[in-house]
Amino acid sequence: MGNHLSGMPMDGWMYMGMALIGIGVPAAIFGALPKKRPDHRPGAGAAFEAPDDTPLTRSHAAVLLVLTLGLIIDTMKPATLGFVLPGMRGEYGLAKSTVALLPFVALTGTTVGSFLWGWLADIYGRRVSILLSTILFVSTSICGAMPSYSWNLVMCFLMGCSAGGMLPVVYTLLAEIMPPRHRSWVLVLVGGTGLVGGYLAASGAAHLFEPLFGWRSLWLQGFPTGLLLLAMARWIPESPRFLMERGMNAELADMALKFGIVRRAPQAAPADAGSAAAHHRELTIALVITALSWSFVNFGLLLWLPSDLQDRGFSAEIASGIIASSALVALPTIMIAAFLYSRWSSKRTLIGTVLLTLAGLAGALLPAPTLAWPPLLIAVIALLVVGANGLIAVLLPYAAENYALRVRGRATGLIAGSSKFGGVAVQLGAFAGLIPTMGGAAVALIIPMTLSAVLIGRSGRETRGRSLRELEAEA
């Protein structure tokens, strides 16, 4: 039947299967949540951290492998949106405005999920949040069998919620179990590799499976890949503070043996706590503005860039070639960002990526006849792509390092959610017929991007190689 399910009636087995998912997911959540909530009173208890000279062990390597794979699987699901839209539109016979609801719903879900799972991670633990996100991810793969478009929208929102929750929690967990000497480069490299790998996996799956099995196969692949991640959950540890506060002493001792984590006295708080709190609030504002600005660059300017280039007279093939050539620098950019972040300066690397993006925005303001020269246009686009890739690679690791344990998950989730919000706003604008041009987007974004660089320069802290105990005390 050519994998064509549109209009097929849902039989009793289909309804029963969906009902079982509706029962099974809440049951799994109830079973996974710990019965005792940890008490993160400021300054209570001791801090757990590996000494700076702790070498990376096989346990560290296993965690990095599993969490990188988790981010690839997680990123792959929303990354398939662009590949499923043409097939979905053809099968359901949808107008462009109607099919555009799918990415809008998915991006809204990722925004909500970033806030929700960050909050859960602070209350119930990092490992539990990752597993629950994966369970929801597996269950929503059923959207590949939905015969009606409306059911696809519902499942796609839930899929977005699960996908949006993985990234901030992974950064939070890695920040708490890695030795200070290795923490910076690990955070940037794992997060960046997971994001780029997810997009490469999505495009590879579309190339291999969609011609044979149709667009639905790209949704259904979430089922086996999610189960694979759950099967590897034994190598995902819990944050040591959560183990201590729940009285799980045997698990804590085992983790200390595998990861070199020791119990250390908490760092003394700064004398002027009020001034430190105000300083930290300014940093939060700076990071939120940075994340919002990046989201509008990524989901607004770069998303609509092919259309803008065609309006400038470039053919579709040339326009796609320019974007593809610029995108080739994504992975090398992440490698360079990881090196600079860990060996030079975390704060200056973040500011540098903001300034690179800002330079690309300034280039987009050049007069149209000047910008029509292909080498200059490619240079401007390359600045935007390099700056945007480098910025998102270091922004969330920097956020995870800058907040105290009791709020680290929700703070990182706030920054992650802000980095998705631009996509929701741009989709709403597209529904209203407001399609941004490169110059128009640059005019709107150059002021907040400049403000973010100034605020990070004022209130940002150097985190490279510093103990989380020291950073938490200052926060």
Over residues 82-93, the pLDDT tens digits come to 788 888 888 888
- Mean residue pLDDT across the chain: 81
Per-residue pLDDT at 103: 81
Beta carbons within 8 Å of 443's beta carbon, 6+ residues apart: 365
pLDDT at 133 over 80: yes
Written as one letter, the residue type at 216 is R
* Confidence band of 274 (pLDDT split at 50, 70, 90): low
CA 227-228-234 angle, 5° bins: 100
Per-residue pLDDT at 44: 46
Say what the pTM is: 0.83
Sign of CA dihedral 437, 440, 444, 449: positive
Per-residue pLDDT at 122: 86
Per-residue pLDDT at 415: 92
Per-residue pLDDT at 318: 58
Per-residue pLDDT at 454: 92
| Closest of 410, 393, 445, 428 to residue 108, by C-alpha | 428
pLDDT at 377 over 70: yes
Distance CA 175, CA 211 (A): 41
**175 or 41, greater pLDDT:** 175
pLDDT at 182 over 90: no
Per-residue pLDDT at 350: 93
pLDDT digits (tens, 9 = 90+) for 242-266: 888 777 888 888 888 888 888 776 6
Among all chains, which residue has been given the structure tokens 């208890």?
45
Distance CA 35, CA 37 (A): 7
Per-residue pLDDT at 208: 86
Per-residue pLDDT at 61: 92
Can you give the chain as a three-state secondary structure string?
CCCCCCCCCCCHHHHHHHHHHHHHHHHHHHHHCCCCCCCCCCCCCCEEECCCCCCCCHHHHHHHHHHHHHHHHHHHHHHCHHHHHHHHHHHHCCCHHHHCHHHHHHHHHHHHHHHHHHHHHHHHCHHHHHHHHHHHHHHHHHHHHCCCHHHHHHHHHHHHHHHHHHHHHHHHHHHHHCCHHHHHHHHHHHHHHHHHHHHHHHHHHHHHHHHHHCCHHHHHCHHHHHHHHHHCHHHCCCCHHHHHHCCCHHHHHHHHHHHCCEEECCCCCCCCHHHHHHHHHHHHHHHHHHHHHHHHHHHHHCCCHHHHHHHCCCCHHHHHHHHHHHHCCHHHHHHHHHHHHHHCCHHHHHHHHHHHHHHHHHHHCCCHHHHCCHHHHHHHHHHHHHHHHHHHHHHHHHHHHCCCHHHHHHHHHHHHHHHHHHHHHHHHHHHCCCCCCHHHHHHHHHHHHHHHHHHHHHHCCCCCCCCHHHHHHHC
Per-residue pLDDT at 288: 93
| List of domains in the chain | 45-264 (1.20.1250.20), 273-474 (1.20.1250.20)
Give the pLDDT mean for 429-434. 68
Give the pLDDT mean for 30-39. 72
Per-residue pLDDT at 285: 92
* Confidence band of 270 (pLDDT split at 50, 70, 90): low
**151 or 269, greater pLDDT:** 151
* Confidence band of 62 (pLDDT split at 50, 70, 90): very high
pLDDT at 463 over 80: yes
Per-residue pLDDT at 326: 57
Per-residue pLDDT at 355: 93
End-to-end, the C-alpha distance of the chain in Å comes to 60
pLDDT at 456 over 80: yes
Name 262's bridge partners: 49
Give the CA count within 13 Å in the CB-facing half-sphere of 190. 31
* Confidence band of 45 (pLDDT split at 50, 70, 90): very low
| Closest of 351, 30, 352, 64 to residue 182, by C-alpha | 64
Could you tell me how far CA 301 lies from the centroid of its own chain? Answer: 19
| Closest of 144, 118, 175, 216 to residue 419, by C-alpha | 118
Per-residue pLDDT at 262: 81
Distance CA 222, CA 226 (A): 6
Per-residue pLDDT at 303: 60
Give the pLDDT mean for 299-313. 63
| Closest of 236, 266, 237, 267 to residue 253, by C-alpha | 237
Lowest mean pLDDT among 128-142, 324-338, 362-376, 377-391: 324-338
Give the pLDDT mean for 424-432. 74
pLDDT at 336 over 80: yes
Give the pLDDT mean for 38-59. 70
* Confidence band of 73 (pLDDT split at 50, 70, 90): confident
Give the pLDDT mean for 428-450. 75
Give the pLDDT mean for 295-316. 66
Phi, psi of 49 (to 5 degrees): -160, 145
Per-residue pLDDT at 435: 60
pLDDT at 153 over 80: yes
pLDDT digits (tens, 9 = 90+) for 208-248: 888 888 888 888 888 898 899 999 988 999 888 888 877 78
Per-residue pLDDT at 289: 92
Tokens at residue 148, please? 């009606």
Tokens at residue 214, please? 């149709």
Per-residue pLDDT at 25: 85
